[in-house]
């Protein structure tokens, strides 16, 4: 009952960082708890199937517990697992992948240990929202499930330079009279500062604004004078009153058009809007693993890379002999992919990047190179449409490499692949987003029956 104080044992942890316990047969979610905690909690909200409670007192602590090293982690929606050891988090991620396959997919899969690297300072990209606080601009990350900004002095997931740039940006905006955007009424200008850093430490900054303003050029002058690491400043205009960060129009006001980074000894050019993994070190490990799943062939493979973004996976896994076709829906990313192919010594004979829906991929690949023997899919969280799965299996590839950022849709889709004779060999979680409730998973589906 609401307002009851009860004692419960925490037996599981969700990806949002809620401990899960049971009382009188009902599931209770408690923030800031860990598996193995026995605690006293106050029931705050009671729903039909479950309740939410607040932690009052830890009676017996879990062995996984650690003292969080971030002052705002309880309020900020960025991290879910700052209160448990990193080992416990890696284990949880592995277990979650395993359970998703049995619960959602309806079958058991061998899950390898979660592959990991540094748990801190790994993000190469940040997207800071700005808001109005009195007469000043403020920035930070949103509280969980809200648009309330939680300010911070530093964020452990990223380089301090990002916070310094955002702070300076807000200060200069206040001085110049460039107001931060107010979502509540649509007034103001500065909406987001989106920054991406390469391994050399160079930063491309994109300021998302509600409308153009001459003073933004003065702001850019200040920024480039203060920070040597900024190599280019772009403006994106977003006039819409919704939650989408970017608007349609992007233009450069100073410096470089693109940022260059290296992955798997390949060079990648990235425009401000191109998708690129935020954790380059781990992305490299993931791509090398994907490469290892494609057997080398004397006369080369035909590889189709669906949802290819700036072409990174395909270009990292394809050898000189392989034919590579990539399909991506965002035009500027396709332009990046084409350019990246050239930068890495590929040509029109062996490479094709197409702008379009993933469902046209097989057709495009067949027309140019023939039927693919390996199809890589790396879709957004919602996973694959059944129509895409059908075009993929109809192409009859030897294997499908599924790279997923959502285990639930991955398990669902692998069950559909199974109906068509593609077996999930094993799954490997990659911790691209340590301390957060996200995990990337790579699965190799192999063809069981010859058509």
Q: Which residues are catalytic?
A: 405
Residue 51 or 351: the one with the smaller Cβ distance to ligand SAH is: 351
Q: Which residue is nearest to ligand SAH (CB)?
A: 309
Q: How many CB atoms lie within 10 A of CB 183?
A: 15
> Closest by alpha carbon to 157, among 177, 140, 179?
140
Tell the smallest beta-carbon distance from residue 271 to ligand SAH (Å).
Answer: 12
Q: Which two tokens stand for residue 16?
A: 């949002």
**Burial bucket for residue 168 (CB in 10 Å: 0-12, 13-18, 19+):** middle
Q: Is residue 364 at the binding interface for ligand SAH, with CB under 6 A as the rule? A: no
Q: Which of residues 289-348 bind ligand SAH (CB under 6 A)?
A: 307-309, 312-313, 327-330, 333
> Closest by alpha carbon to 29, among 4, 3, 55?
55
Residue 228 or 331: the one with the smaller Cβ distance to ligand SAH is: 331
Residue 33 or 277: the one with the smaller Cβ distance to ligand SAH is: 277
For residues 112 and 97, what is the distance between their CA atoms, to the nearest angstrom?
10
Q: How many CB atoms lie within 10 A of CB 248?
A: 9
Q: Which of residues 269-288 bind ligand SAH (CB under 6 A)?
A: 275-277
Q: Is residue 378 at the binding interface for ligand SAH, with CB under 6 A as the rule? A: yes
CB contact at 8 A, 224 and 216: no
Q: Is residue 129 at the binding interface for ligand SAH, with CB under 6 A as the rule? A: no
**Burial bucket for residue 257 (CB in 10 Å: 0-12, 13-18, 19+):** exposed
Q: Is residue 259 at the binding interface for ligand SAH, with CB under 6 A as the rule? A: no
DSSP state of 112: P
Q: Is residue 358 at the binding interface for ligand SAH, with CB under 6 A as the rule? A: yes
Q: Is residue 27 at the binding interface for ligand SAH, with CB under 6 A as the rule? A: no
CB contact at 8 A, 434 and 87: no
Q: Which two tokens stand for residue 348?
A: 């029109």
Q: Select from 295, 345, 370, 380 the one that contacts ligand SAH (CB under 6 A).
A: 380
Q: What residue has token string 């530093």?
A: 154
CB contact at 8 A, 251 and 235: yes
Residue 37 or 284: the one with the smaller Cβ distance to ligand SAH is: 284
Q: Is residue 374 at the binding interface for ligand SAH, with CB under 6 A as the rule? A: no
Q: Is residue 61 at the binding interface for ligand SAH, with CB under 6 A as the rule? A: no
Residues that bind ligand SAH (CB under 6 A): 275-277, 307-309, 312-313, 327-330, 333, 357-358, 378, 380
């Amino acid at each position: 009952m609401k307002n009851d104080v009860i004692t419960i044992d925490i037996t599981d942890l969700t990806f949002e960082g809620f401990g899960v316990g049971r009382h009188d047969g009902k599931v209770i979610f408690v923030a800031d708890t860990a598996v193995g905690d026995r605690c006293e909690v106050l029931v705050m909200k009671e729903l039909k199937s479950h309740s939410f409670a607040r932690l009052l007192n830890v009676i017996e602590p879990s062995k996984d517990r650690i003292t969080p090293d971030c002052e705002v982690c309880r309020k900020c929606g960025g991290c879910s697992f700052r209160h448990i050891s990193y080992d416990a988090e890696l284990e949880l991620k592995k277990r979650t992948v395993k359970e998703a396959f049995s619960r959602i997919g309806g079958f058991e899969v061998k899950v390898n240990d979660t592959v990991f690297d540094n748990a801190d300072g790994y993000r190469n990209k940040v997207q800071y929202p700005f808001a109005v606080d009195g007469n000043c601009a403020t920035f930070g990350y949103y509280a969980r499930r809200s648009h309330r900004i939680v300010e911070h002095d530093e964020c452990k997931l990223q380089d301090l330079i990002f916070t310094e740039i955002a702070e300076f940006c807000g200060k200069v905006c206040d001085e110049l009279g460039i107001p931060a955007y107010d979502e509540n009424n649509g007034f103001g200008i500065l909406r987001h500062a989106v920054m991406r850093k390469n391994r050399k430490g160079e930063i491309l900054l994109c300021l998302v604004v509600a409308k153009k303003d001459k003073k933004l050029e003065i702001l850019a002058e200040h920024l480039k004078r203060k920070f040597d690491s900024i190599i280019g400043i772009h403006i994106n205009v977003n006039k819409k009153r919704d939650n989408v960060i970017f608007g349609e129009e992007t233009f450069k006001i100073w410096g470089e058009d693109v940022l260059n980074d290296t992955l798997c000894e390949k060079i990648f050019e990235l425009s401000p809007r191109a998708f690129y993994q935020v954790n380059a070190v781990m992305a490299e490990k993931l791509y090398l693993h994907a490469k290892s799943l494609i057997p080398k062939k004397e006369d080369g493979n035909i590889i189709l890379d669906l949802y290819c973004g700036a072409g990174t996976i395909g270009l990292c896994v394809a050898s000189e002999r392989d034919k590579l076709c990539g399909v991506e829906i965002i035009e500027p990313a396709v332009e990046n992919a084409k350019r990246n192919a050239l930068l890495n010594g590929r040509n029109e004979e062996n490479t094709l990047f197409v702008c379009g829906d993933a469902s046209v991929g097989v057709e495009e690949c067949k027309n140019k190179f023939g039927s693919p023997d390996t199809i890589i899919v790396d879709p957004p969280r919602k996973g694959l449409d059944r129509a895409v799965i059908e075009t993929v299996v109809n192409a009859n590839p030897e294997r499908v490499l599924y790279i997923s950022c959502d285990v639930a849709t991955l398990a669902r889709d692998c069950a559909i692949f199974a109906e068509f004779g593609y077996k999930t060999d094993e799954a490997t979680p990659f911790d691209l987003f340590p301390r957060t409730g996200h995990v990337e998973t790579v699965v190799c589906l192999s063809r069981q029956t010859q058509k």
